[in-house]
Amino acid sequence: MGHARSERERRSNHRVDLDGRAVLFQRGDHVGQYTIENLSAGGAWISGNRDLRPGHLVHLLIDLEESGDTMSLTGSVRRAGPHDKGNGHRVGLAIAFPALSADQEDAIHDALLRGLVRRDKSTVPLPFLVFEPRRRVREEIESEVRSFGLPLLSVDSLSEAVEELESDETKYGGLIIHSVTHDRRAMDVVEFFARSDGLRTIILPEPEGALSNHAVRLAKLPFVVVPPIWSRSELRRALMN
């Protein structure tokens, strides 16, 4: 997105349970095929028939069934132990990814979000409402949300936002706002819906993570999400959480 984040910024890792498999190699030798129990940009928990000692470096070819993505990653075995799901004597391995590039992190996060959307395709996800007066910014947000396969509706005025939020015809999964945080009247309305309806609200901050005073007050509510900065990866994380 237009507000690029610093490459040095550390990202929290959202761990997701998805169906998939991983083929492990060690020093070029095939170790075996494992089931992916959960995955994040920080690492994976996998289960299989062969144990490995902690500290060993491994190469993984990952295939995620729900998203259709394949990835090639290098990791290290952090711990090993019995896997208690299902039948048989299976081993669980915690694999860490200590040296992913930013592109690899983004690829994992994108794959996880696509997988979540496809896994829940039997139930249509609730749309997000984007309330943004500035056309360029609104279109930028729309493009990013749609790229994750999520439905949305956009409005550019307070009256339209109120009409949509009060409507009995459409229920929204959340509200995304940015420049309206500088409009006191608009923020009073947003706070009303956030408090009364428990409306999940994502506030996209200014560059460098700056927030208006109104946004700072709203950000204290438990169902309001404020990414540290406005970037594609942070918006994706807010949509996933």
Same domain, 136 and 213: yes
Q: Quick one: average pLDDT of 84-108?
A: 80
Q: CATH number for the domain including 71?
A: 2.40.10.220
Q: Which domain holds residue 58?
A: 20-104
**pLDDT reading at 191 higher than 80:** yes
Model confidence band, residue 8 (pLDDT cutoffs 50, 70, 90) = very low
Assigned domain for 118 exists: no
Model confidence band, residue 96 (pLDDT cutoffs 50, 70, 90) = very high
Q: How many domains are contained in the chain?
A: 2
Q: Decide if 91 contacts 34 (C-beta within 8 A).
A: no
CA distance 64 to 46: 13
Assigned domain for 198 exists: yes
Assigned domain for 208 exists: yes
Same domain, 96 and 184: no
Same domain, 134 and 86: no
What phi and psi, each to the nearest 5 degrees, are found at residue 155?
-135, 155
Same domain, 86 and 132: no
